[in-house]
Amino acid sequence: MLKTALVTGGTRGIGLGIAEALSAAGWDLALCGMRPPDAVADVLGALRATGRRIEYWRADVGVAADREALVAGALDRFGAITALVNNAGRAPRVRADLLAAGEDSFEELLRTNLQGPYFLTQAIARHMIETGPHDGPARPAIVFITSVSADLASPNRGEYCVSKAGLAMAVKLFAARLAEHAIPVYEVRPGIIATDMTAGVREVYDRRIADGLVPERRWGTPADVGRAVATLVGGQLPYATGTIIHVDGGLTVPRL
């Protein structure tokens, strides 16, 4: 049976790692991002080389009209969405101390990182319920990519931490609400992952990782996250809705 995953922010960083893992596992993909189609043509071409159907929409998940167009377009082209991976998100444009940060950055991050995926999930969940029952091989699933910052405090990017903590609660809410419809909802919490988002702090975290911040003593990769997501949407963790999967090399393991 055909399986289609909608992956937000799926053409770069963690999202691309997820898209690569899913396409390799036999998933067709509906991807969205902020860049125009010609700017992601090479990425889309590489994904299509796997033989899967790959479609792309330019959409800002923090804008209601864009979300509506994305959902309508994906359903029109694919007919159904089997899995939703809420990956799109942004970091603060400027890291600012908690006592100095302004409201504009807070509003931007909450809109993109929390409000957008919250209401996109609402729309996709309604679709999944309408296409039920869900007891076959193409059983639906929803995954939220949050962050260790949902639990670890960084006072120089408080708005990011708040947005991810809110997203972690959204996982619990949707897991509780959708369980009766046999739609599992999972949370994946990446740690320090090597992407363009973390490029600006590369040297800082190189030193901290070498000093033991991460027990596995290495940066995480988008592929690490992609493999976790492919496992979840592939139905390999049943009877576990609401589960948090840490992909952080042991960063959040309490230690003496």
Phi, psi of 32 (to 5 degrees): -140, 160
Strand-strand pairing, 83-86 and 185-190: unpaired
Predicted pLDDT at 2: 78
Q: What is the CATH number of domain 4-247?
A: 3.40.50.720
Phi, psi of 84 (to 5 degrees): -115, 130
Q: Which tens digit of pLDDT belongs to each residue from 28-67?
A: 999 999 999 999 999 999 999 999 999 999 999 999 999 9
Asked if pLDDT for residue 181 goes beyond 80, the answer is yes
Cβ 167 vs Cβ 208: under 8 Å: no
Residue 57, CA atoms < 13 Å, CB-side half-sphere: 23
Q: Taking the domains of the chain in order of start, what are their residue ranges?
A: 4-247
Q: Which tens digit of pLDDT belongs to each residue from 127-178?
A: 999 997 666 667 999 999 999 999 999 999 999 999 999 999 999 999 999 9
Q: Which tens digit of pLDDT belongs to each residue from 86-136?
A: 999 999 999 999 999 999 999 999 999 999 999 999 999 999 999 976 666
1: confidence class by pLDDT, cuts 50, 70, 90: low
Peptide bond into 155 cis (omega under 30): no
CA 198 to chain centroid, in Å, comes to 16
Predicted pLDDT at 134: 61
Residues 6+ apart with CB under 8 A from 206: none
Mean pLDDT of the chain, nearest integer: 96
Residue 32, CA atoms < 13 Å, CB-side half-sphere: 29
